Structure 1
């Protein structure tokens, strides 16, 4: 029994080493540079050992993506705690989302390496869905507060997310980092978005 327990612990430790080495490579060279060969060389094991824990490189990146969305959802939830009005929640979400991208840029690059996730991807990922649900709830409440239907709430969710991601992508392209606090341009864009929801433009 003891021998089996040690073996299980060794496997858990090895998996954590794979994750840690992968993150080192990502931070140093970028997520596109990650490879199973580099990870194996870094931890001193053969390539087949890595495949026992992760099916491929994409599975490792998916681990960090889920981790990032979990952090993002937690930050958003904390930022809107105790805030009822939808407009104020959307502003808080804007600020916490931007702060996340600034503080966890490596995670953000992995999470959105292929752009805004499709609805199918969001629905199949618990951590991603948590972020989506928080934004959707704020948009829905703002519409209801102003006596509008919520028929286009999902469309507005995608618009809101696209605005946030678009400005962050521009920052990354221009500076390779995210300034903090949010730029005046994104504040202006979100205020315009909120205005359209209130007045149903």
Structure 2
């Protein structure tokens, strides 16, 4: 292995450590607790080393968001892969999405609430974000039916899921009715 390859591997390892540490800190204490000073202390590198990887917190949030998008896409695909009907796939998608949001609040915030400097719904949207949308689209295209544009249907269904995730987490919706909300959403928007 060349010196250059070793340096690149070490750099990639440091970058993964920074992202993992930021994510862990955000999940434990919220994004306000994530500062370059705290991250530098936790990973035992200087702040200039952090800045050699990321220009600041915004880019770190973006890196966490991209990692989260990949994980969310995998979770949705895994949940829908074993469902035996279109209705069951849409229900599994809804549960996977809402479970991801509930179990990864800091990542979910990085994806959809905070400014990570990532472009959405554009040509230059990063591949992990496009793939997360594609994971939804794959299941929801069939549910859209022939008279509705699949992309528009997916955006609408996703917006409803996002609203449920956000309002539930904020305590605005009683958690005991969560299953009924999913059933209502699926039955109304993705009826066979």
Report the TM-score range of the alignment, normalised by the length of the smaller protein: 0.7 to 0.9
Which position in structure 2 is the counterpart of 1:77?
77
Q: Deviations over 1:69-118 (max 9, x none)?
A: 11111111112215464333211111111222232223212211149x84
- For residues 169 and 39 of structure 1, the distance between their equivalents in structure 2, rounded to whole angstroms, comes to 27
- For residues 111 and 162 of structure 2, the distance between their equivalents in structure 1, rounded to whole angstroms, comes to 11
CA contact (8 A) 1:85 1:141 kept: no
Paired residue secondary structure (1:25): helix
- For residues 125 and 180 of structure 1, the distance between their equivalents in structure 2, rounded to whole angstroms, comes to 37
Paired residue secondary structure (1:55): coil
Which position in structure 2 is the counterpart of 1:56?
56
1:151-166 maps to which residues of 2 (within 5 A)?
Answer: 152-166=149-163
Which position in structure 1 is the counterpart of 2:183?
187
Counterparts in 2 of 1:191 and 1:33: CA distance versus 1, 3 Å: same
Counterparts in 2 of 1:67 and 1:179: CA distance versus 1, 3 Å: farther
Aligned residue pairs, count:
188
Does 1:124 pair with 2:120? Answer: no
CA contact (8 A) 2:94 2:161 kept: yes
Shift of 1:166: 0.3
The range that moved more, 91-100 or 185-194, is 185-194
User: RMSD value over aligned CA atoms?
Assistant: 3.1
Which position in structure 2 is the counterpart of 1:170?
167
Which position in structure 2 is the counterpart of 1:27?
27
Tell me the TM-score normalized by structure 1: 0.76
**Structure (1 or 2) with the larger CA radius of gyration:** 1
> Following superposition, which runs of at least 4 residues in structure 1 exceed 6 angstroms of deviation?
none
Structure 2 alignment gaps of length 5 or more: none
CA contact (8 A) 2:87 2:186 kept: no
Shift of 1:182: 4.2
CA contact (8 A) 2:137 2:150 kept: yes
Counterparts in 2 of 1:132 and 1:52: CA distance versus 1, 3 Å: same
Counterparts in 2 of 1:141 and 1:44: CA distance versus 1, 3 Å: closer
1:89-128 maps to which residues of 2 (within 5 A)?
Answer: 89-114=89-114, 118-120=120-122, 124-128=125-129
Which position in structure 2 is the counterpart of 1:46?
46
Tell me the TM-score normalized by structure 2: 0.79
Structure 1 alignment gaps of length 5 or more: none
